[in-house]
Amino acid sequence: MERSQVLDAMSQLKLYGMKAAYDEIITTAVKRQHEPQQIVGDLLNAEISEKQARSIKYQMTIAKLPLAKEVDEFSFEETPVNETLVRDLAAGEFLEQQRNVVLIGGTGTGKSHLAVSIARACIRRGKRGRFFNVVDLVNKLDAEARADRQGRTADLLCRLDFLILDELGYLPFAHGHRRRARRSHGTELRL
């Protein structure tokens, strides 16, 4: 089979990772006299890597994160933020334990930055999540109820591994609701 036929077949089969890596893998295989199993294995690994990268990119898009921030971009100096705790949260173990994380602090303290960066790290580990401004989420749920389409957003939320609720302080709560919200089990990080 000629190179162009191989690449066409890979395109038809949607093996884009293999196609992108084909020339490099074949060139290396010829130089180093790799066995056929090694060549096939290298092509399969290239495909797996490409599919994982595409999945992460897709999950980042549907998470609707408002910014592209990373933990390493946060300036921990001159803040009371526990860097070790933030890095532990970015590992995502709290999701396996089904724990909540509540970031508390004033305006401009980095709550959104840290929430987004923790979310991005969790998505890279294969988790699915979604960012909502609380007022926007409440309006969306209200619009669904008025259109007699309740449950659509709730169904989406049930399929996620995590949910970021930002700007919670701007939503008025009845006194009893605020008390119940504080009883959730999880990690509290004060900023």
Classified as helix, coil or strand, 4 is: helix
Task: Write b or e for each residue in 5-24: b if 16 or more Cβ atoms lie within 10 A of its Cβ, otherwise e.
Answer: eebeebeeeebebbbbbbee
Together in a domain, 82 and 55? no
Together in a domain, 81 and 7? no
Together in a domain, 58 and 138? no
Together in a domain, 31 and 96? no
Q: Could you report the per-residue pLDDT of 108-129, keeping only the tens digit for each?
A: 888 889 999 999 999 999 999 9
Classified as helix, coil or strand, 165 is: strand
Greatest C-alpha distance within the chain: 73
Give the list of residues 6+ apart from residue 168 with CB closer than 8 angstroms, or none.
Answer: 134
CATH number at residue 153: 3.40.50.300
- Report the domain count for the chain: 2
Together in a domain, 150 and 174? yes
Together in a domain, 126 and 185? yes
Q: Taking all residues of the chain, what is their mean pLDDT, rounded to a whole number? A: 87
Q: Which domain holds residue 12?
A: 3-62
Q: Could you report the per-residue pLDDT of 124-147, keeping only the tens digit for each?
A: 999 999 999 888 898 899 999 899
Together in a domain, 40 and 98? no
- C-alpha span between 149 and 93 (Å, rounded): 35
Confidence class of residue 172 from pLDDT cuts 50, 70 and 90? low
Q: Could you report the per-residue pLDDT of 8-53, keeping only the tens digit for each?
A: 999 999 999 999 999 999 999 999 999 999 999 999 999 999 999 9
Together in a domain, 158 and 124? yes
Q: Which amino acid is at 135?
A: V
Together in a domain, 40 and 101? no
- The string of DSSP letters for 71-138 reads GGGS--TTS---HHHHHHHHTTHHHHTT-EEEEE--TTSSHHHHHHHHHHHHHHTT--EEEEEHHHHH
Confidence class of residue 190 from pLDDT cuts 50, 70 and 90? low
What pTM was estimated for this model as a whole?
0.74
